[in-house]
Amino acid sequence: MFKITQEIELRGPVSKKEYDKLLIFLKRNGKFIEHRNRVNYLFNHKNKQVDVRVRDTNGDIEMVMKLGHIGAHKRKEISFKLGKVKVKDALDFLNHLGYRTGLIAVRISDIFMYCGVEFAVVSVPGRKSWHTYYFEMEMQADTASEIKKAKEYMAKLAGKLGLRFFGKREYEDYIVEMNEYASEKFVLKE
C-alpha cells in the first residue's frame, strides 16, 4: 500500500521516572493503539533533506522516504508497506539503487491516542548501560493554518501534562548522541 502523509511531530525528552509516569497516565486515560518493536535501517543520502529507510515494525516491513530536515516539526512521509517480507529483500532493493551505508536504530514504543493526538512513549536501548527516553506527539495537517493550529494544540496539551519539547539545537544534539550510543553503522555489499 502506498501512502503520503503530512506529519506534524513534536518530541521532548523524559527521564525514566517521567517515562514511567507518562506511560501509566496514558494507559489510564488514553486509548492504547499498539506496542512497537521497531528497527530502522536509515540510509545515508547526499541530500540531507531526504531520509530513506527500511522500517521493520513488529515484523511488518515498509520502505519509507521522509522529505524535510531531520527533526523538523513538519515532514512529508511517503511509505510503501511491504508486509511480511524479509528485511534482507527490502535492503537488497535499495542496495541496487545505490544505497549502501547507514545506521540501524532500535526504538521500542507504546502508542496511544489521547485528546485527538497520537502519543508515542519511546524507549531507546543503547550499548552497555546507555539508555534514553523521549515522547512524541503527532497529528496530521495539510494547510498552513491547520499546521499552526496543530502545533499550538499539542503545545497546550504538553504543557497541561508537564511535558516540554526539545529545542531545535537540543534535538539535533540528541540525535547525534543517539547515533553514537544507540545506533550501529552498516555497509551493504555491492
Does 121 reside within a domain?
yes
Cβ neighbours for 125, distance < 8 A, ≥ 6 positions apart? 106, 108, 131, 182
Write down the pLDDT at residue 1.
58
Does 190 reside within a domain?
no
Please write the tens of the pLDDT for every residue from 33-74.
Answer: 999 999 999 998 777 788 899 999 999 999 998 887 776 667
Does 153 reside within a domain?
yes
> What is the rounded distance in angstroms from the CA atom of residue 188 to the CA atom of residue 99?
8
Provide the grid cell at 152: 499550538
Please write the tens of the pLDDT for every residue from 2-24.
Answer: 555 678 899 999 999 999 999 99
Question: Do the Cβ atoms of 151 and 20 come closer than 8 Å?
Answer: no
Domain that holds residue 148: 2-182
Query: Region 90-119: what's the mean pLDDT?
Result: 94
DSSP type of residue 58: T
52 beta partners = 43, 65
Write down the pLDDT at residue 3.
57
| pTM for the full predicted model | 0.85
Please write the tens of the pLDDT for every residue from 139-165.
Answer: 988 888 888 999 999 999 999 999 999
Write down the pLDDT at residue 150.
93
What CATH number is given to the structural domain containing 49? Answer: 2.40.320.10
Number of domains in the chain: 1
